[in-house]
Structure 1
Amino acid sequence: MNLTLDEKKIRKGRAVGLPYVGSKKKVSKKIVEIIKHNFGTDKTVYDVFGGGGAITAELMINDIDVVYNDLDKTITDMFNRVLSQDRKWIKTLIISRDEFFEIREKENKTVDDELKLLVNSFGNNRKDYLYSKKISDIKYDLAVEIIKKDNVFSGYKQTETYKSFLKNNHERLEQLQQLEQLQQLERLQQLERLQQLPKTINKDYEYFSNVKNSILYLDPPYENSDTSKYNSQVDYQELYDWAYEMSKNNIVLLSSYEVSDDRFECVYEFKTARSTMSGGMSGKRTEKLFMVKP
């Protein structure tokens, strides 16, 4: 069985979602168009391992009923917090290196604290500040000045503030070309524009065992990969057994690079979405969609 995709029907514009480890933003628009093209738009989609919400957001944009689930309540709270706020609030999320480490050490963090750590951290790991100590103050101050004077996140390289700064700092040109903090805020603004909140749940996948006549989209941490970044460990054989049973009364789509259970087959391969993980297979594995064999 192979699923089909009409590339011409893929939504124009940027993919949206939190900047989050394991995010499906590279392929979210294609995955949702595959769902629409092959299964229609009248079924509820359960985004069972929702993570940063890229699939949920794309389903919402396409007016498809979606249930957004992730065991990590912090990440779903962050997603919904962005949706319920405005651009003025997004500006408050950019923080300095000193502020970052002060927040990181707090015992009880608010949702806003977690968002500040997310958008100002290297690799969105919420642990390490985005810039090295040597240039962090310079890039932070420049980003804040651009927001204050020019009120932009995207297109900041066209502002006089940015151009003037580079003109006077030739020796650091290479280090200062990208203002990643502004790029992160732009991504959040794309998400904020959705406004409405999805139905949100924070349960283990087995909570959905009674679901019928729906689409279950499963995007667990990749099999045979480092899962230490995630809150819970996955017993893949148990997950595959559950997915197999659920496919008797539902459409079950599983995202991964590989599935060791031979009851499943690859039904679509995203040939340009390659692994960026470290290791010998980096750049060789491609994102795929799997379903139970007919």
Structure 2
Amino acid sequence: MKKLFSFLSRFYQTYSATAPLNAHHLEQNFDSPDPANLGDAAQPITLIRTGLGNYHILQGLALDHRYNFLYTTHVEGQPEQGVINRFKLHNSNLWSAQDAQKPSALIGHQGISVDPQGDFMFASAGAGIANKGWYILKFQYMPNAAPSHTQVIQVFDKTYNKITNTMPSITPDGKYLLVRGNNHKINVIRIFKLDLITENNLTDIRFLYEDEWPIDPGFTHDKSAFQGLSTDGTYVYLLSGNKNKGPKRIYVYDLTGKLVQKMDHVTLGHFDSLSNPAIQYWEPEGLTVDSQNHQLYVLYSIGNTGQFLGRIYRMTINL
């Protein structure tokens, strides 16, 4: 059950009147004459991956500012095995992966995060873990090798969907871990103190959460998939959509579950897809917060079957 202090915080916390994202830049009309207005930061970054399955759809990303790396994930094979690529941060608009980790059945296809104060990463549990929707994976990235020091951690109990991607996300200060679950077809966000894992080394924290709250059902209606979760420690950013060229959704909550910004017609990046009629997929696949530069990275997979690239758009977060 939700802790009392967390429930009461909904009534006593003060909220900023400033919307964290510029809706005008995210929700322009498809016939807008000025595609430059679709971004309030830099030009998009195109990602070129390496390793097995590097032509498959990208399905998540994470930033590590301590070591200046960006990580992406995709899946390879049947049953699925997660593959992570590592990119060095730089200033160009075309990034080639420095290296890749070998496929692992322990790593799920959507959702990765970096511990900002440690040497571990977290991922949704993969097909190699029974009832994967109840678990996350803690591990160390190993270039050209299997993940190291893996640890399976339970974050949900059997009343929750057993195949949902948990999409772990960590606040930039390293204090809280957020995960996504699904309870009787209702998407929820659950919040834990990260030190339960990093200091106490617990592997079953399913009943030790600080808070849990539901996501507006409109976020995934019309068969739009839940595609991304990230947080800057003040707000929680959620991304949904599907592979077509229609609008996507970005919803923003505060940490107590208050919906502070709702965008149902996100057209960010659609000019890139329309400029090439051969592109069939324009699918949102993940997002992550750049806490140093106050930007939200939004990842799209673009292309066709067997020929997918990743494209990242960076939007300013208003403080």
Q: TM-score range by the shorter chain?
A: under 0.3
Query: Higher helix fraction: Structure 1 or Structure 2?
Result: 1
> 1 or 2, which has the higher strand percentage?
2
Q: TM-score, normalised by structure 2?
A: 0.25
**Bigger radius of gyration:** 1
